[in-house]
Structure 1
């Protein structure tokens, strides 16, 4: 898996990611930098969609106790 050269953008804090339930689905508002990272992961892995990458990310955050 290849990643783009890191840009000089500031890192995104976890507080900038908002989660809310909507029609029994998880709606996530992502800053552009996180959205770009998800798209890059989806392009360069066996996972084919941003939603799948996001699901895996949320699952890991829950396992770590960072999300309920």
Structure 2
């Protein structure tokens, strides 16, 4: 798993960084996005649905896990 630290950044920057970085992962690998902007809690799952990636949930406040599916 890789970790993407986007704390201190306002949306849509965490989603933009996620979109850029997920291309570096192999299918099935996961990324943990650290984001303290409250909008990330909605934006990251929505991005996953639009891009057909798997949102794994939020294991802790301000952390969001995504698995690359395609």
Same fold (TM over 0.5): no
| Structure with the larger strand share | 2
TM-score normalised to the size of structure 2? Answer: 0.30
| Structure with the larger helix share | 1
Structure with the greater relative contact order (CA < 8 A, sep ≥ 6): 1 or 2?
2
TM-score normalised to the size of structure 1? Answer: 0.30
